[in-house]
Structure 1
Amino acid sequence: MLLNCKQAAWIVLPALVRAATVTYSVPASVPTSAVALDVAPVGISFEFFTFPSYFLNVTATNQCLANFEALTGVWPPIRIGGTTQDRADYDPATSAYVVYSVASSVDAPASLTFGQSFMSLAATYAGNVVMGLNRGHNNISNTIAAAKVAKAKMSNLRAIELGNEPEYYLSASQPIAVAAGTWTPAVDAASQDDWDIRVGSALSTTKIIQAGNSNTAPPTWGAAELIATENATAQSYVYDYAHHNYPGGTISSLMSHSDIYSNLAVFDADIAAAATTGKDYVLGETNSVSGGGASTVSPLFGAALWTLDYSVMASSKNIKRTYFHHGTIGACYYCFWGRYDMGAPYYGAYVATAFMAGGASISELDTGSTNYAAYVVYDSAGKPLRVLLINSDYYSSGTRGSETFVLTGLGSGASVKSKRLTAASANSRVDQGGNPTFGGQTFANGTCVVGGTETFESTGLSGGVGSFVASASEALLVYLQ
């Protein structure tokens, strides 16, 4: 539940104009095709140089993360990294978290240093942390020194990344020593394998490296390609394999369920390759549009629906964790929160977390060929726990269409309850007064505290069949237990 201290209200919606109907059967027990869920599949990525400020200078950070923990019982996983991890050198002499200079507060530094206090701050987080370190400068002794501090100070250390998006090293705006001369996926793979062994050996720790971390669409620079180069020693140091992804496009194409399906299908071979090694596959850095987002796409409610559908679909495809990137504070259209305003996508991430929380496995009911999505999460006993319905038809103004989702196999009860994720349109922006609501509740700007009365809708069942109406650019979370 969102707020135990708030009174829950029940409403029955009046009939809406129904444009079409889709029907899905909810299996009474978990199907063999279902995928096991991570305990906290929705995570956050912080750009390396901004991490201290997010935790020390942005009030909403702790509360926004705590809201997820209230749903799942564990703090969401975080990753610290990005472009500036390959611009950052460890300085054991500095007492500062990070040291850099920029012409404007919204600029990213071209170079920076960080000290032990950076790792000490990361160690205070109650959830698991992936720490990104520098490979681009080709100074492995410096990186090993930093890795040793991370290992010593961070009991919450999940894995270490060695370099960020290496395919861009040659075109980077700073000297990248490791990529001098020929730089191809094969050369990078040899570098990664060597660094994985040397760093892992220095730490005397296996299963410690988050490998891959490229952004170019597979198969080039992908996990399958990297795995094929690894010997048993290199692979023993790998904790999981990660890739980055920024779909881009217009708001209507971004939020389209069929487009999300096509975008994530690119990773199928890599997911399968990782499974053969017994390692997880994750999206280690992702968001709507690269470079901090786009004003006409990333802060809109349509991006919240994308965040919801995308993270849930990723989980249903056996992508264990999805880390949504947060960049420069004050210059980040896709960020879930900032110093002053919430971002609409946070609502999508929250509903995705609420849907999967406590679930043991997940299955997609639709085929990904239309704008209408249906997923079911099963509990540890193999019984359906919740169903998520999404109408990704783009709505901006005028008559708002709707879709009727008919679900069969819902058991012998008289009714089920649900909560609706909605906004005035797909173009609504929180910083322009267009707050979404989930079950009638919102997240306060500046603090991320939940407000409003939690509101459930009731849908009657007949013979285990129920009809649920979702307007264009809306989603509905149906509770079966």
Structure 2
Amino acid sequence: MLALGIGLTCCLLLQGAQAVTVYFQNGAVVNPTGAVTSTAVAAQYTNDAAFNNLVLTAPPVPSPAPPQQFTIQLQQSGQNVQGLSIQHTGPFFGFSIEFSVVTQTVGRNSTFLFVPFLNLMALIAERAGYVPIRVGGNSQDTATLVDSLPDGAVLAKDKADSSNPTQTPELIFTPDIIYMLSNASALVPIRWYLGIPMNDTTDLRLGIAEVAEAVLGDNLLGLQLGNEPDLYAGHGHRAPTYGPFDYFGEFGVVVNAIGNDSNIPIRNNLVAPSVATGPWTPELVWNTGFIPAYSNVLGSLSVEHYPDDNCAAAFPGGPFGAPKVPQDVFSNYLNHTSGVQIVAPYLNSSNIAQQAGKPFVMMETNTASCGGFPGVSDSFGSALWGLDYGLQMAYSNFSQALLHVGGTDDTYNPFTPPPTNQSEFHQWSVGPLSYSTLVMAETLGNTNTSQLIDLNANSGNIYTPAYAIYEKGSLARVALFNYITDPSGASSYTATISIGGGQTGQPNGNPSQVTVKYLVAPSVAEKTNITWAGQTFGGQLASDGRLLGTYDAQTVQCDQTQNTCNVQVPAPGYALVFLTNDALEESTPASTATFSTTILTKTINTATVDPTVIATSNGQGGGRPFLLGSTSKGSDGSAATAAVVAPTTAVLISLLAGVVVMFEVMRRT
């Protein structure tokens, strides 16, 4: 956790500062090189869905199996390629954080940001340029801004809305939430989407827009107006007859109110309609004349979509029927068809957005609504699915897609902090979808010129899709998937990449060698043993948001006489082939800014014991005297308190936008 001091008037510089050693309560020591040692291993916590231990069975090798060798013929210049996507001018993957859990994921308040969150965002930002994050969801429509809350709280949850099948709480929050987001942006390039409440358009609450524009400035990407309005009637938030024309009218009411509010000077950044493609399709909204009527105030057009739901299991006894069995749906996520089918209903809308000159944003998505499926949403298979789905959206001219982050009741989270009562001795869990986000940033790069195409590789085999990525009009990368799990190695394949191919009028374009980074795991069912270019976020409840391990990228020699580069792809796995040194350097930062803990909480009554020691011990013994003590602060005896050891070197404290932060630059090993 990062302690931030607000309102400081000076900088304190203690000479000679190099690094600081932080002693955690359980005896773990973080040294200046980032290495961690510990005297005890905490037991795993598995009571909440986010920390479930369900491991499914990987599907068998398909019959017939895909060919293990095939050629991909490419053109060096994008001008010769039909069907390339639009030019992507910013980071593609970001996150959608449910408003009700923002104080569990970003920070406790504006003076207390979470280090793992900052570390994770820094990894993506240095590859993509910045990280787009939306704070909203179902909870945004009932959120109310107040000046203050009792006991210095910045967010409070009211009783659950009994009419809402997902039991989303009503929220009350203070401006400090917005300052918290701004302070995070002062440390890491993060830009935010927020939502204007729309549960009652007769009593508008525009405070979040007023404060956000004043505090976030250019770091405010947009204001969402309406979250899944096609579900309002079904959730009991509107009359059963509520339809697209009703939404059109209510949208206009809010637009007029914004136009009359001098505290909202920016009036062209609204994001809508964000339909869930449930009762309505986006076309039903477009057919109301929505885009031409509101073009001047719309910054982006948006939709939200989940390919499945686990609501029956999350809310038993509700209107969702019988629960689905995770093993039964697992295979649905393990082939190229999944992403293609999700995107297909939006192809017309993405074309409409282009004609209107508006970005088309997938405002909220993930594996399955109502928290995802255990064993599916938190498996390596979901990492491959997320990458393929994301690339398919980018190819289909979406401009951004935001992966949803919920609480500990959800299995699909890209990252999850430990439960509150575990936070003193557990770290964060980084899920497979975080790898998707990181790898996506490297796949598209940060030149703001990337275009891509689905190659229909291996004669269109659904288990071995591939994409080509062009930058500045030239071929830069090739992305190769293998959805099959086969420990024998027999289902690994070799893709022969040929550029130009010696066709008439086309020069041979293969380089002498290429660099390949691999995203791999032993099985699509694997949960934690996942690596990207040899590095990992580690196991459950064990990450501080930094990559661990030795960086490892493979060099593949090419045959320039035959004009071929043979790249192997393991089963399962993802291979990103860098065809130029510029593309590789762009996606491979030389160093990473990471953030150090500068505060120690709960420094009393924090004794921990390795459970394996208890299991094998004989109690008191060994001839040593049995001494009685106390764990109460101030009592005599051997109180079990955590030692805070002052660093022997000076600590550098710098002032940044009123925020005190200490950070280190960790070199890639």
TM-score range, shorter chain: 0.7 to 0.9
Structure 1 residue 231 displacement after superposition: 6.4
What residue number does 1:64 align with?
120
Q: 1:183 to 1:253 in 2, by over 3 A?
A: same
TM-score normalized by structure 2? 0.63
- Is 1:348 the counterpart of 2:436? The answer is yes
Q: Which amino acid aligns with 1:37?
A: H
TM-score normalized by structure 1? 0.87
1:79-114 residue CA offsets vs partner (Å, 9 max, x unmatched): 0110111221222344642112569xxx96532211
- Kindly report which structure 2 residues correspond to 1:241-260, keeping only aligned pairs within 5 A, or say none: 241-248=301-308, 250-260=329-339
Q: Is the 8 A contact 2:156 2:171 kept in 1?
A: yes
- Is 1:480 the counterpart of 2:571? The answer is no
Structure 1 residue 32 displacement after superposition: 5.4
Structure 1 residue 412 displacement after superposition: 4.3
What residue number does 2:497 align with?
407
In 2, the alpha carbon distance for the partners of 1:108 and 1:65 equals 29
In 2, the alpha carbon distance for the partners of 1:262 and 1:67 equals 31
Structure 1 residue 480 displacement after superposition: 0.8
What residue number does 2:274 align with?
213
More helix by share: 1
- Kindly report which structure 2 residues correspond to 1:291-310, keeping only aligned pairs within 5 A, or say none: 291-310=370-389
Larger displacement relative to structure 2 (319-328 or 342-351): 342-351
Runs of 5+ consecutive residues of structure 1 not aligned to the other structure: 7-16
Q: Is the 8 A contact 1:19 1:402 kept in 2?
A: no
- Is 1:361 the counterpart of 2:440? The answer is no
- Is 1:333 the counterpart of 2:411? The answer is yes
Q: Given the alignment, which residue of 453, 462, 479 partners 1:388?
A: 479
Q: 1:396 to 1:338 in 2, by over 3 A?
A: farther
In 1, the alpha carbon distance for the partners of 2:127 and 2:351 equals 30
Q: 1:137 to 1:377 in 2, by over 3 A?
A: same
Provide the alpha-carbon RMSD of the alignment.
Answer: 2.6
- Is 1:28 the counterpart of 2:76? The answer is yes
In 2, the alpha carbon distance for the partners of 1:319 and 1:225 equals 18
In 1, the alpha carbon distance for the partners of 2:291 and 2:305 equals 27
Q: 1:404 to 1:102 in 2, by over 3 A?
A: farther
Q: Which amino acid aligns with 2:154?
A: Y
In 1, the alpha carbon distance for the partners of 2:395 and 2:72 equals 17
Q: 1:232 to 1:215 in 2, by over 3 A?
A: closer
What residue number does 2:62 align with?
none
1:395-454 residue CA offsets vs partner (Å, 9 max, x unmatched): 276665123222110724322110111101000012xxxx21111111143312111111
Q: 1:417 to 1:86 in 2, by over 3 A?
A: same
Structure 1 residue 232 displacement after superposition: 4.2
1:310-366 residue CA offsets vs partner (Å, 9 max, x unmatched): 1122111110011000011x2221111112321122112211111111241222242
What residue number does 2:194 align with?
131
In 1, the alpha carbon distance for the partners of 2:530 and 2:576 equals 15
What residue number does 1:77 align with?
132
Q: Given the alignment, which residue of 182, 185, 206 partners 2:244?
A: 185
Q: 1:193 to 1:125 in 2, by over 3 A?
A: farther
Structure 1 residue 287 displacement after superposition: 0.5
Q: Which amino acid aligns with 1:413?
A: P
Q: Which amino acid aligns with 1:421?
A: L
- Is 1:374 the counterpart of 2:466? The answer is yes
In 2, the alpha carbon distance for the partners of 1:451 and 1:181 equals 52
1:186-229 residue CA offsets vs partner (Å, 9 max, x unmatched): 322332244234335532433210111111259x3316733642
SS of the residue corresponding to residue 236 of structure 1 reads coil
In 2, the alpha carbon distance for the partners of 1:109 and 1:385 equals 44
In 2, the alpha carbon distance for the partners of 1:298 and 1:231 equals 35
SS of the residue corresponding to residue 295 of structure 2 reads helix
What residue number does 2:88 align with?
37
- Is 1:89 the counterpart of 2:144? The answer is yes
Identity of aligned residues (%): 22
SS of the residue corresponding to residue 295 of structure 1 reads coil
Larger displacement relative to structure 2 (204-213 or 414-423): 204-213
In 2, the alpha carbon distance for the partners of 1:315 and 1:245 equals 15
SS of the residue corresponding to residue 574 of structure 2 reads strand
Q: Which has the larger radius of gyration?
A: 2
Q: Is the 8 A contact 1:337 1:346 kept in 2?
A: yes
In 1, the alpha carbon distance for the partners of 2:231 and 2:181 equals 27
Q: Is the 8 A contact 2:198 2:204 kept in 1?
A: no
Q: Which amino acid aligns with 1:117?
A: D
Q: Is the 8 A contact 2:244 2:284 kept in 1?
A: no
Q: Is the 8 A contact 1:400 1:471 kept in 2?
A: no
Runs of 5+ consecutive residues of structure 2 not aligned to the other structure: 1-32, 35-64, 109-113, 161-165, 309-327, 418-427, 501-508, 581-669
Q: 1:357 to 1:367 in 2, by over 3 A?
A: same
What residue number does 1:437 align with?
531
- Is 1:458 the counterpart of 2:517? The answer is no
Q: Which amino acid aligns with 2:123?
A: N
In 2, the alpha carbon distance for the partners of 1:237 and 1:149 equals 18
In 1, the alpha carbon distance for the partners of 2:292 and 2:159 equals 44
Larger displacement relative to structure 2 (260-269 or 110-119): 110-119
SS of the residue corresponding to residue 369 of structure 2 reads coil
Q: 1:54 to 1:231 in 2, by over 3 A?
A: closer
